Amino acid sequence: MSYPYNLDKNSKQQQLLDGLNELTAHHMEHNAAYRAMLTKSGQQEQGSSLEAVPYLPVQLFKLMELVSVPQEDVVKVLTSSGTTGQQVSKIFLDKETASKQTKALVEVMKPLIGGQRLPMVIFDSKSVLKDRRSFSARGAGILGFANFGRGHFYALNDDMSVDWDGLEQFITQHNGNKILLFGFTYMIWKHVVQEAKLKGKTIDFGDSILIHGGGWKKLQEEAVDGETFKLTLQSVLGIRKVHNYYGMVEQVGSIFVECGQGHLHTPNYADVVVRDPITFNPLPYGQQGLIQVLSLLPTSYPGHSLLTEDTGTIHGEDNCPCGWKGKYFSVAGRIPKAELRGCSDTYAFGGGRSA
C-alpha cells in the first residue's frame, strides 16, 4: 500500500481523533492564551468527532503570537508570505515539530517521486533563503522540498529573469535522468512560462515531474486554471508530470498533494473538514465551503486544527480511482476580502490603513 495514504476511514478517524484530542489537551496545558480562548468561548475540549475538535482561524496567527513551548526551545520561526503592508503569520517551531515537519514532507511526496534524490531544478532565486532562522513561506517551502533533490539548480536570477543557459546545461548534464522540478505556481507562470513565450524558448525536460503550490489567486485573475497550467507546462517546457500541492505555513504537516487523478489527498496524519462560510457548520461531501485543516504534527504551537480562508470541496473518502485512501478534495480559491463602509477612509490620505 502507498504509505501514508493507506489508512481507511475507520482506522484513520479514530487515530486522528485521539491524537487531536491529546494535542488540544497539550496546548491547553502549555499555552495560557489558547487555554483562555477555549475556556472563555465555552468550547468542548475533547471532541467526540473530528468535526467537534476546537479550531482556531488561521487569521489569528496574524493578530497574535501563539507558542506552546518555552521561548528558548524555538529553533525556527516561519512567516506567511504577504504583500507589503499586510500582517504576516508567525509560526514557532521547536526541534521536535520542525523534524516532524521534515519527515512528513518526505513521506507525503515519496509515493510521487520515489525514495531517491533526483537532480532538481528550483524555479526561484537563491536569494530568498538568506536568513536561516526566520523563513518566509517561500523560503520554507524551498528548503523543505530541496531535501528530495540533489545538484540543486536555482533557475531564476535575482531579478527574476530565467537563467536559460544554466537550464540547458543542467539538462545536458543530467541527460537520461529523471528530473525533479519545484516552484510556486504563480512564479512559474509569471516568470518562466511568460518569459519562455515572449522569447520563443522551448525546453524539454524529458522524464520529469514538477511539484508546485502556493495558491491560484493571482492566476485566477488571469483566468488560468489547473488544466491550462498543466498543458502549457507540458507544451512549453516539456514537463511530463505536473502535481499541484496545497498547504500553508500555519499548519505544519498539512501538505496535500495531487494524485494522478488531479485530486488533493489527505495523508494518514492530516485531514480536512469543509464548513459553511457563514455558520461554520460542517458540510456534506460535494458541497463547497471553508476548508478546515487538521494535523497531528504541531506541538510547539496550537495549530493542529485551523479554519482557513480558502474554499474547497471534499469529493469523497477512500474511493479515489488513484487507489490512495483518505479524503480527497479540491481548492476553489480564497474567500473575497470583506468590503466595509464607514466614516474612516479605507485608503488613507498618504497611504496606510486607518484604525
Partner 1 sequence: MKFYFPKEQGQQTLDRLNARSPLEPFHPVVLQFVAALSQRFVKLRQFPEIVALGYWMRKANITSLQEQWEVANLGRNIKARGTVFHIAPSNVDTIFIYSWLLSLLAGNRNIIRLSSKELPQQHTLLQVLLDELSNPAYELLAERNILLTYVHNDHTTELLSKLCHVRVVWGGDSTVHAVRRVPLAPMASELVFADRFSLSLIHAASLNELEQEKLIQLTGQFYNDAYWFDQLACSSPRLIVWQGTTVEVEQAQQRFWQALEETHASKQAEPQAALQVQKLSTSLWLAASDEASQVAHTSAYSRVILDTVTGEIRERHCGGGFFLETTIQLLEQLAPIIADKDQTLTYFGYCKQQLELLVSIIQTRGIDRIVPIGRALDFQEIWDGQSFLRSFTREVVII
How many whole angstroms separate alpha carbon 292 and alpha carbon 49? 14
Nearest C-alpha neighbor of 267 from the set 278, 249, 279, 251: 251
Give me the residues that bind partner 1 (CB under 8 A), please.
33-34, 36-37, 40-42, 56-57, 59-60, 63-64, 277-280, 290, 307, 309, 335-350, 352-355
Nearest distance in Å: CB 55, partner 1? 9
Nearest distance in Å: CB 289, partner 1? 9
Complex with partner 1: residue 198 or 278, whichever CB lies closer: 278
Pairing of strands 118-123, 179-184: parallel
How many whole angstroms separate alpha carbon 300 and alpha carbon 69? 5
Nearest C-alpha neighbor of 332 from the set 280, 278, 274: 274
Nearest distance in Å: CB 249, partner 1? 17
Complex with partner 1: residue 28 or 156, whichever CB lies closer: 28
Complex with partner 1: residue 190 or 334, whichever CB lies closer: 334
Complex with partner 1: residue 200 or 351, whichever CB lies closer: 351
Nearest distance in Å: CB 215, partner 1? 16
The distance of Cα 217 from the centroid of its chain, to the nearest Å, equals 14
Complex with partner 1: residue 267 or 303, whichever CB lies closer: 303
Nearest distance in Å: CB 307, partner 1? 7
How many whole angstroms separate alpha carbon 5 and alpha carbon 8? 9
What's the longest Cα–Cα distance across the chain? 65
Complex with partner 1: residue 31 or 254, whichever CB lies closer: 31
How far CA 18 is from CA of 68, 108, 157, 189, 297, in Å, comes to: 19, 21, 47, 42, 13
- Per DSSP, the three-state class of 89 is coil
Nearest distance in Å: CB 185, partner 1? 22
How many whole angstroms separate alpha carbon 124 and alpha carbon 52? 40
Residue pair 233/239 in contact (Cβ under 8 Å)? The answer is yes
Nearest C-alpha neighbor of 255 from the set 212, 201, 301: 212
Nearest distance in Å: CB 66, partner 1? 8
Complex with partner 1: residue 37 or 171, whichever CB lies closer: 37
